[in-house]
Structure 1
Amino acid sequence: MTGPARSPRGSVRHLISINDLTDEDLRSIVARGARFRAGTAGPERPLAGDVVGIYFRKTSTRTRTAFSSGALRLGAQIVSYGPDDLQLNTGETHEDTGAVMSRMLEVLVARTAADPGELRMLAAQDRMSVVNAMSADEHPTQALTDLTTLLGHFGRIDGLRVLYVGEGNNTATALALALTRYAGTHLEVRTPPGYGLPDEIRATASAQAARGTATLCERHDMVDLPGNFDVVYTTRWQTTGTSKPDPNWREIFAPFQVTTALWAGSPNAIFMHDLPAHRGEEVTAEVLDGPASIAFDQAENKMHSAMAVLEWCRRGPVAGS
């Protein structure tokens, strides 16, 4: 019995950062995810015969389930690894681990919540795609989910105005890198003092925006907010695998809670949250469970977006997606 056809040498596609994607790749994945959600992607099973590894060293509900379910729906089989299952724990190098896995897997989806250099080392081979399911600095598949959600809800991404409130964490980082690729978008980021976007991410996203017609603004207060936002977005204050350096961090974050008051200037805005949520902390229950919230539709889109990512890894951009 022969295995599935391998990608030609040098053509393996990795997704470790949004920056790994061309504009064509980004738009193709997002459009394809929206088609999977709409049920118009076709009956193909492009991963039939493939094996996808699912390696999570940190907790996950949505991302792990999304990639596992998505791979199965695309025809692949999966092998799951827990945090203590690999010989990495006994000193085997990431490069050797990736080289061995690449002889047996077509795609490895990995969450380390650590330095993305680990993922780059696993990707230092030319047979197996590596997908970042969240590292300490960036959550690229979350941004792809978010854009898929925006496209499905509004029918467009160009020109949307998004208010992000909360820590400049790995979700915010990926969103800034992705949304500023689209024409006419505005991303207003309001982060607590000392918890903003990393300087290099802000610089990269701002440069992208300047090359087109997008805009990015970050401030560390909640005063003088512009209105007419299409989206209000937040994430939980205690990000997986991180801790706050300030013992009084809750006092610093308190003014950045999302409440219904934010809708005074944006009455038609939808609410998004990458989940899990802590009602009464980063968002009130009235908002999360209210009529403007599409947070659980957004969570479902994790699976549709994961399917688009896996398909892209194996086939590249899909024409007409």
Structure 2
Amino acid sequence: MRNFLSLTDLTSAELDDVVRNAVRYGAPGPFEKVLADRAVGILFLKTSTRTRTSFWAGATRLGARVITYGPGDLQLNTGETLEDTARVLGEYLDALVVRTNGDIAELRRLGAAGRPAIVNALTENEHPTQAVADLATLTEEFGELGGRHLLYAGEGNSTAAALALAAALTPGFRLTLVCPAGYGLPKSLLDAAAELSAGRHQVDQHESFDDVTGRVDAVYTSRWQTMGVDKADPDWLTAFQGYRVDAALFDRFRGPDTVFLHDLPAVRGDEVDGTVLDGPASRAWRQAHHKMTAAMAVLDWCLT
């Protein structure tokens, strides 16, 4: 069994294998029941629509039996340690999918037991399965990702972090992030991306769109308040003025085949206008479908 905790743990070949499998699962089924007789637990300590449902649906489609846990369901709330919880759940489950706003170190402690396989369905600093869905959407759209350029606009959140790491692991794929001052990805994450790319400098971050030249293949944005968590500065929204993906911004960088991506949920009128989200270039809803195919591919990679 293999854990799927951070993209920093994967090689380029492993990520490519998972992404291509997600694309394959995006084709019409039926699919081989590769998870038959497997038991998958889904523990979500925070709200979720797409990720929780996609893992349940994906695991079920591949033949697994699924049990879901809410934030108050496990004895972690009464003082049992992560290590003891993992040891016990390993007697019953083959995989445990976890969402938390906490640090990834907690998931590594869960995964240290070796069973069940632990899947990171979002932590404070990274959303690796979302990146698989994103790359699957782009691979389905364009075929190969080498030579493609993705522009990400908005907050340097867990989605942006996973995108940066995924881009670094995908040869020839370029990511440019444009984030408000104080709300970009931390230097440590950018350094990790640079290390993963072996010095190919595939990930750049700026504060102004004026630093971006030429057309791009995709424009991506994400909710400015990840998981609805309030920001420390009560006037934070002022910093994001000018970062909304409206028709003018999208047209500024679009080519004949440029698509729009959003990990959802969207706050229409904040990070994106409805005309873009619902427009003909939007692939946000297909991207949401690939949340499920990414879940299928990740569980397949972990357990088979």
Q: In the TM superposition, what is the alpha-carbon distance from 1:207 to its structure 2 partner?
A: 2.7
Question: Following the alignment from structure 1 to structure 2, what is the Cα–Cα distance between the partners of residues 25 and 143?
Answer: 14
Task: Report matched runs for 1:10-29 at 5 Å.
Answer: 12-29=1-18
Q: In the TM superposition, what is the alpha-carbon distance from 1:264 to its structure 2 partner?
A: 2.6
**Which of 240, 256, 281 is the matching residue for 2:243?**
256
Structure 1: stretches of 5+ with no match in the other structure? 1-11, 316-321
Structure 1, 87-96 or 116-125: larger mean CA deviation = 116-125
Q: What is the alpha-carbon root mean square deviation over aligned residues?
A: 1.4
**Which of 136, 145, 150 is the matching residue for 2:138?**
150
Equivalent residue, structure 2, for 1:98: 86
Partners of 2:4 and 2:120 within 8 A in 1: yes
1:237 aligns with 2:237: no
1:243-289 CA-to-partner distances (Å, cap 9, x unmatched) read: 21211111101111111122233233100000000110000111111
Equivalent residue, structure 2, for 1:319: none
Task: Report matched runs for 1:1-321 at 5 Å.
Answer: 12-39=1-28, 43-212=31-200, 215-240=202-227, 242-262=229-249, 263-268=251-256, 269-315=258-304
Question: Following the alignment from structure 1 to structure 2, what is the Cα–Cα distance between the partners of residues 16 and 311?
Answer: 15
Q: In the TM superposition, what is the alpha-carbon distance from 1:241 to its structure 2 partner?
A: 5.6
| Structure 2 residue matching 1:163: 3-state secondary structure | strand
Question: Following the alignment from structure 1 to structure 2, what is the Cα–Cα distance between the partners of residues 132 and 75?
Answer: 21
Q: In the TM superposition, what is the alpha-carbon distance from 1:121 to its structure 2 partner?
A: 1.3
Question: Following the alignment from structure 2 to structure 1, what is the Cα–Cα distance between the partners of residues 243 and 114?
Answer: 44
Amino acid at match of 2:274: A
Question: Following the alignment from structure 2 to structure 1, what is the Cα–Cα distance between the partners of residues 11 and 171?
Answer: 15
Q: Please give the TM-score of this superposition, normalised by the length of structure 1.
A: 0.91
Q: In the TM superposition, what is the alpha-carbon distance from 1:210 to its structure 2 partner?
A: 4.4
Question: Following the alignment from structure 1 to structure 2, what is the Cα–Cα distance between the partners of residues 113 and 285?
Answer: 28
1:165-201 CA-to-partner distances (Å, cap 9, x unmatched) read: 0010000000000012222222111001001102111
Distance verdict in 2 for CA 1:265–1:132, change over 3 Å: closer
Partners of 1:162 and 1:232 within 8 A in 2: yes
Partners of 1:113 and 1:241 within 8 A in 2: no
| Structure 2 residue matching 1:183: 3-state secondary structure | coil
Question: Following the alignment from structure 2 to structure 1, what is the Cα–Cα distance between the partners of residues 13 and 191?
Answer: 22
| Structure 1 residue matching 2:261: 3-state secondary structure | strand
| Structure 2 residue matching 1:230: 3-state secondary structure | strand
| Structure 1 residue matching 2:124: 3-state secondary structure | coil
Q: In the TM superposition, what is the alpha-carbon distance from 1:292 to its structure 2 partner?
A: 0.9
Amino acid at match of 1:17: S
Equivalent residue, structure 2, for 1:7: none
Q: When the two structures are aligned, how many residues end up with a matched partner? A: 302
Structure 1, 220-229 or 67-76: larger mean CA deviation = 220-229
Partners of 1:46 and 1:74 within 8 A in 2: yes
Partners of 2:86 and 2:115 within 8 A in 1: no
1:1-38 CA-to-partner distances (Å, cap 9, x unmatched) read: xxxxxxxxxxx200110112122210110000001102
Structure 1, 66-75 or 182-191: larger mean CA deviation = 182-191
Q: Please give the TM-score of this superposition, normalised by the length of structure 2.
A: 0.96
Question: Following the alignment from structure 2 to structure 1, what is the Cα–Cα distance between the partners of residues 262 and 97?
Answer: 22
